[in-house]
Amino acid sequence: MEGNKSIREKRRREILNAAKKVFIDKPFEAIIMEDIISETSLSRGGFYYYYKNTVDILHDLMREGMAYRISEIKKFMATYSGNLDKNALAEMMVDKMLDKSDLMSIYVIYLQAAKNNKELKKLYSILVDEALYSEFCDDVGGVRLGDFNYNTTNFIIYFMNTVMLGCEVLDARDNFVKNRDFFVEVVKIYFDFFDKGKIQ
């Protein structure tokens, strides 16, 4: 039984890796399942056993991105000298915005494609809920990230998405990374405004 599970996971991983490549190389709205199938060793029927459409694949890639982000948070906290506090949270949020992984590129592709795709728009609220549950509610260093309400406002979600879009679409990441300290201070100012009830 374990062997079958291992084979299924290996094939699912092959599909997701192929999909990442296709999503990065081609506009999402132009992608058909055959584009991804042709990048794998699976037959058409074998492929469809795992995924029925590109939205389902994208959803799993987003989940993979959440798992990746949790691992990055844990790495950060393993080297951070203090407790989980506003400063640590600001640092982690900026790290997320400026991340250069393929999964971040896929997320930005998703944000762009969602504008004109009803299925992807519906997926957005599911992703936000999943992200808040898995990422911000995970226990890190004895403190629950979900205890910080700063992460849940539309304002900060929109702000972070805007910076991520700038990194990918405007090719601004190198400049933003050089000014990382500025972004950390901006996030801390956001926390202050939030605490004073000034965030809409």
pLDDT at 103 over 70: yes
Higher pLDDT, 197 or 164: 164
- Same domain? For 156 and 62 the reply is yes
Q: What is the pLDDT of residue 14?
A: 96
CATH of residue 1's domain is 1.10.10
**Using one digit for the tens of pLDDT, what is the confidence trace for 56-100?**
999 899 889 888 888 888 888 888 877 778 888 899 999 999 999
The 8-class DSSP code of residue 170 comes to S
- Residue 133 included in any domain: yes
The mean pLDDT of 178-185, rounded to a whole number, is 98
Percent of the chain with pLDDT over 70: 88
pLDDT per residue as tens digits for the range 128-165 = 777 666 555 555 555 555 555 666 788 998 999 999 99
The rounded distance, in Å, linking the Cα atoms of 109 and 112 is 5
Instruction: Quick: pLDDT tens for 104-119.
Output: 999 999 999 888 888 8
- Asked if residue 94 and residue 75 are part of one domain, the reply reads yes
* List of residues 6+ apart from 114 with CB closer than 8 A: 120, 121, 123, 124
Question: Using H for helix, E for strand and C for coil, what is the string for 40-86?
Answer: CCCCHHHHHHHCCCHHHHHHHHHHHHHHHHHHHHHHHHHHCCCCCCH
State the Cα–Cα distance between residues 190 and 200, nearest whole angstrom. Answer: 11
Q: Does residue 200 form part of some domain?
A: no
Domain that holds residue 94: 58-195
Are residues 43 and 80 located together in one domain of the fold?
no
Find tokens 């901006």 and name the residue.
186
Tally of structural domains, the chain: 2
The confidence score (pLDDT) of residue 160 equals: 95
Please identify, among 37, 52, 67, the residue that sits at the C-terminal boundary of a domain.
Answer: 52
> 132-136: which pairs have CB atoms within 8 A and are 24 or more residues apart?
134/66, 134/67, 134/70, 135/66, 135/69, 135/70, 135/73
Name the pLDDT band for 52 (thresholds 50, 70, 90): very high
Q: Please, where are the H alpha helices in the chain?
A: 2-25, 33-37, 44-50, 54-79, 86-98, 102-114, 118-134, 154-169, 173-178, 180-195
> Is residue 9 assigned to a domain?
yes
Q: Is residue 68 part of a domain?
A: yes
Average pLDDT over residues 8-37: 94
